[in-house]
Structure 1
Amino acid sequence: MKPTLHFQRFEFKYPMHKPTAEKIIPALLKYMSWDPFVSGRGDKSYLVNSLYFDNSGYGCYFEKESGEKFRKKFRLRVYESEVKDDTNIFVEIKRKNNALIIKDRVHLPAKDARRILVNNKLNSYVGQISDDDMMVLKEFLWTKNYNCMMPRIMVAYRRKPLVAKTDRNVRVTFDYDIRAKLTNWFNCNNFAWKEVLPGSLILEIKYNNILPFWLHEIIQKYQLERVAFSKYCNAVRACMPQIDDGSGRDSGNYLGV
């Protein structure tokens, strides 16, 4: 299935404990089915690894904490447990305006993504990728350089995805086993991880236009409470408990160079 690279939608997040999720899933399956990507898997999940960029003062973190309505996140994302030169990496810009999410992503082999981010050059890709993808990469590089951003923290978790039977743009995901570590590249070994939201998981509802009535009823039935939850911000606090008092902000070197 070809990945969607440019889209906008609404996203709502609901933290909960695992027993609550186990009750909700059967109710959702009356109207939804497992994403085809995981339907043949026993645990109905896949791995997500995200590497977030920020400056030495953690400006992206503090924008979220101060309640800025319009924010951007710059990250790399992979869906593999090991990143090799030919691993497919998504270079992503995620814009958030209240509950509206606008995401642009470009997928490249890991060796190319790393070379671009280190050398800050796109000349070899002129004519090789679409104009839209080139604009995304240019914005990523310009913002990274202008704000002196570096890869700071990696967030990993398992995701169980459901899609509505009548509208494939309506999705529900359960993100669990969320953990994080300070690193400047995809370091997927089992060392130095910190738990994020231990004992709980995040249900995310994603849709384009109108929330389906049946989904609204499920939210009410199980008394789900929507929160403004950021995996990145919670990961920063898990790895850097003193972040809010200003200590220990500058961590890590840029892509190991």
Structure 2
Amino acid sequence: MKLRYERKYFVPNDRLDELRTRLMPFVFPDVHTKVGESGLSQYTVRSIYYDTPFMEYYYEKKEGLEFRNKFRIRGYDNQNENSIVFLEIKRKLSNRIGKHRATLKYSDLKSLLTTGNTKDYINGPKLPKALKDADKFLFYYYSKSLKPVNLVVYDREAFHGKFNDEVRITFDKNVRTSIYPTIDELYSEDRLKLITPGYFVLEIKYYNIMPLWARSIVEEFSLQLEAISKYSSGLDIHHTTYGTMRFSPISLSRNPFYRL
């Protein structure tokens, strides 16, 4: 598992075009961010995050633990008969991030989670590693009784560095969320609520040293480094509606998973 740095910043929406123009001499769009007559296209990222009955991973983030995991099922754009999804474990190891990832058809997802039979359903390149990563995901899924807690959806523009294509820049826009989704709601736009109206999330990802051009642009736009978690922020905005005790491990009677 290769580890990289991720630096995240909130940027006002009205500075999006200005920031993109400033970055373009140093980056090129990734394969999913197309350049057309109307400008750059974007794609939609959809993730269902899982947590334990005691919201263990949510509280690990809130308490600032240096070593923690996130478990999610990720898909892209709109559903079709060939839709592919990914089982992902995102690991934070001090100030670096690594990821385990396995690919399967969305239509096979329920069967995989029911049977645990990775050999029948996991596919794609680097299959031996993908099978191991899927086994890791399922180990936690069963041993920790993981349940779907938060659906996070956003529209992304993604770029790679021209001088080092391992540098990756993303603009995550219209970040929105709904809580307690089912697997069938991965591609749904219902019940979604904006997490940060008026802002998008800039992420700068690299393996060794942040490029000087990226640092210069961060300073030029007076951007502040933030410990942004779309998962925990997505839960936080629902507290105003559902009450903070809903997520408290000491209040089992209010925990939606307690009777499952």
TM-score (norm 1): 0.87
Which residue in 2 is equivalent to 1:67?
A: 64
What is the root-mean-square deviation in Å for CA atoms of aligned residues? Answer: 2.5
Whether the 8 Å CA contact 1:69–1:96 is kept in 2: the answer is yes
Give the alignment partner of residue 25 of structure 1, picking from 20, 37, 50: 20
Q: Distance in 2 between matches of 1:10 and 1:175?
A: 17
Give the alignment partner of residue 3 of structure 2, picking from 5, 8, 23: 8
Residue-by-residue CA offset, 1:68-93 (whole Å, 9 max, x unaligned): 10111111111122265x31011111
Q: 1:11 to 1:252 in 2, by over 3 A?
A: farther
Give the alignment partner of residue 93 of structure 2, picking from 86, 97, 116: 97
Shift of 1:44: 2.5
1:243 partnered with 2:238: no
Q: 1:250 to 1:127 in 2, by over 3 A?
A: closer
Q: Which moved more, 1:144-153 or 1:110-119?
A: 110-119
1:168 corresponds to which letter in structure 2? D
Matched residue of 1:22: which SS?
Answer: helix
Whether the 8 Å CA contact 1:7–1:104 is kept in 2: the answer is no
Shift of 1:125: 5.8
1:226 partnered with 2:219: no
Which aligned runs of 4 or more in structure 1 are off by greater than 6 angstroms? 126-129
TM-score (norm 2): 0.86
Give the alignment partner of residue 40 of structure 1, picking from 31, 35, 38: 35
Number of residue pairs matched? Answer: 248
Unaligned runs of 5+ in 1: 1-5
Shift of 1:201: 0.9
Q: 1:24 to 1:127 in 2, by over 3 A?
A: closer
1:147 corresponds to which letter in structure 2? K
Whether the 8 Å CA contact 1:58–1:249 is kept in 2: the answer is no
Matched residue of 2:44: which SS?
Answer: strand
Residue-by-residue CA offset, 1:53-80 (whole Å, 9 max, x unaligned): 1112211101100111011111111112
Unaligned runs of 5+ in 2: none
2:99 corresponds to which letter in structure 1? K
1:204 corresponds to which letter in structure 2? E
